Amino acid sequence: MPCSSVREVHHDPYRVRRNLSRRQTIFEEGSSGDWVYVVLSGAVEISKVVGDKKVVIRTLRPEEIFGELGFLGNVKRTATARAAGETTVGVIDQETIAREFNKLSSDFREIHQAVVGRLTETLELACRLKTRK
């Protein structure tokens, strides 16, 4: 998901920028998620363990957002994020996201939570199906 809309929220939402080396872990599947990330340069591999197999879900490129399901869905991280090479990510903190999220109407927040729940379920199902091949 491109982050151009995130830039419109706040002139510089990245209070923290992290420079990562190849294969450096950003977060692990199952960990808590208080931040949302944006790839600023390089690439980030998103993977999940299904059974005893590592399943690469996607490799993200600059301007793509990740970590949003764990944060916005208030659930544990659904996948592991690792730098695919020399990479820089921007970190959007909990305060910034919460401030913007709380501007939404309660009806829209409920719709949002339902969508996040369905995305999480779909991700789990897709990974299970992918490992059956």
Q: Please give the average per-residue pLDDT across 75-86, as a whole number.
A: 92
pLDDT above 60 (res 3):
no
Confidence of residue 69 (pLDDT cuts 50, 70, 90): confident
Q: Which domains does the chain have, with CATH numbers?
A: 4-132 (2.60.120.10)
pLDDT on residue 64: 95
Helix (H) or strand (E) holding 81: strand 80-83
pLDDT above 90 (res 7):
no
Among residues 130, 115, 118, the alpha carbon closest in space to that of 48 is found at 130
pLDDT on residue 13: 66
pLDDT on residue 81: 97
Confidence of residue 101 (pLDDT cuts 50, 70, 90): confident
Q: Please give the average per-residue pLDDT across 25-52, as a whole number.
A: 92
pLDDT on residue 1: 45
Burial of 112 (0-12, 13-18, 19+ CB in 10 A): middle
pLDDT on residue 38: 95
Confidence of residue 4 (pLDDT cuts 50, 70, 90): very low
